[in-house]
Structures are given as C-alpha cells and as structure tokens.
Amino acid sequence: MPTAIEIDVNGKLYPVHYHPETPLLYVLRDELGLTGSKYGCGEGQCGSCTVLLGGQPRRSCQIPVSAAVGKPVTTIEGLEKDGRLHPVQQAFIDAGAFQCAYCTPGMIMSSVGLLQSNPHPSSAEIVQFLQGNICRCGTQPRIVDAVQQAAKAMQERAR
C-alpha cells in the first residue's frame, strides 16, 4: 500500500489511499464518496467528470490523483455556499436546462470554468467551450441560455 497523499477538495484536505495513478474521478467517487462527478466515457470525450483543478475545468477521468496534489479541486458538491446555489446552478434550474441530468454536474463545472476566464461569453463562445461536453437528451440550447443567464446574474452580483 503506497503512503497516503493528501488532496484538497472543496476546501477540505483528504488523505488518499488509492494508488497514485488512479484517475482523480475514481478517488473522488469511490474513496471520498463525492459522486456528483460522473463517469461517462473514461477517455475525456464526454465531460461528465469535469471538475476544477487549480481553477481550470479538467476531465477528472484523465488525471491521475497524484497530479492533484497541491492544487485545489472543486467539484459540483463544492459550488453551493451556505445553502446558496452558485449562479450557474441557479441558472440551470431557471432555464430548465436538463432532462435526465446525468451530464448536468459536468456541464455546470465546465460553465463555471468558462465564466471565470470569460465573464461575458457570446453564444458562439459558449458552444465552442462546451463542445467537449455531451448531452444525449439534447438539452444544449437551454444550456447555452443558462450560461448566458448565469453570466448576467454574476455581473449583477458583482456590482
């Protein structure tokens, strides 16, 4: 058994006993019990497992847990603060931007990442940024709407 490493997830330090080459997704889901991040493909093609690593949206199925040491990880469970939803989460509800909602955590994490680097994306920029996230139910138009609504709400909140 390798020595435990520590990772920072949603502001909390967790010892990790899984093999350091284990993809971050499996550590989050299976060892830490944070199952909001989903397995969809295991090859970084669907975006269901997206988390923020050092503030950047990354596919957690493609990152060995050892690569997360020293970089803060934010998962879907870490967005809500004191019972208050992140504006992107609220916008997904308001826009009804889900059907089966299995892709939703990944969509939200990618969108949060987008809005951090580009607070006022055009719909073309949203489409471009979310190209790596699959929604099989076909809810993409509402997801684009939700991201735009969230951008507006964040702008108002910042004022």
Partner 1 sequence: MTTMSNQSQNLVLEPERYEFSSGSIHHFELARREFFKLLGAGIAVFAIAKDSQAAQETAPSHGFHPQDLPSDISAWLHIGENGGVTAFCGKVEIGQNIRTSLAQTVADELRVPFESVRMVMGDTSLTPFDAGTFGSRTTPSMTPQLRRVASAARDLLIEVAAKEWNVAPESLKAANAKITDPASGRSLTYASLARGKTLAQNLPEQDPITPPPDWTIAGKPVPKVDARDFVTGRRQYTPDLHPAGMLYGKVLRPPSFGATLTSYDDTAAKSTIGVVVVRDGDFVAAAAPTEREASAALTAIRAQWKEDPPKTSSRDIFSYLKNNAETKSDDRHRKQKGSVEDVLAGAAHRLDATYTVAYIAHAPLEPRAALAEWSGEKLTVWTGSQRPFGVRGELADTLRIPESNVRVIVPDTGSAYGGKHTGDAAIEAARLARAAGRPVKVVWTREEEFTWAYFRPAGVIEVKSAIAPDGKLLAWDFHNYHSGSSGIETPYVVPNLRTEFHSVPLVLRSGSYRGLAATANHFARETHMDALAHSAKIDPLEFRLKNLEDARLRAVLEAAAKTFGWPRAKAADLGFGIAGGNEKGSYVATCAEIAVENNSGSVRVVRLVTAFECGAIVNPDGLRNQVIGANIQGLGGALFEAIEFENGRITNPRFSRYRVPRFRDLPEIEAVLLDRKDIAPAGAGETPIMAVAPAIGNAIFDATAKRLNNLPLIPNGLKRT
What residues make contact with partner 1 under the rule CB under 8 A? 18-19, 22, 26, 29-30, 33-43, 45-46, 48, 75-77, 79-80, 85, 89-90, 92-93, 96, 98-105, 108, 126-128, 130-142, 144
Judged by beta carbon, residue 6 or residue 125, the one nearer partner 1 is: 125
- Tokens 């990152």 label which residue? 63
CB of 148 to partner 1, least distance (A): 14
Judged by beta carbon, residue 41 or residue 69, the one nearer partner 1 is: 41
Which residue, 98, 72, 94, 103, is CA-closest to 150? 94
Judged by beta carbon, residue 149 or residue 159, the one nearer partner 1 is: 149
- For 72-88, give the DSSP string: -EE-GGGS-BTTB--HH
CB of 94 to partner 1, least distance (A): 9
Residue 2 · residue 69 · CB < 8 Å: no
CB of 136 to partner 1, least distance (A): 5
Judged by beta carbon, residue 36 or residue 72, the one nearer partner 1 is: 36
For 93-150, give the secondary structure using H, E and C.
HHHCCCCCCCCHHHHHHHHHHHHHHCCCCCHHHHHHHHHHCCCCCCCHHHHHHHHHHH
CB of 47 to partner 1, least distance (A): 10
Report the first-to-last Cα separation within the chain, whole angstroms.
51
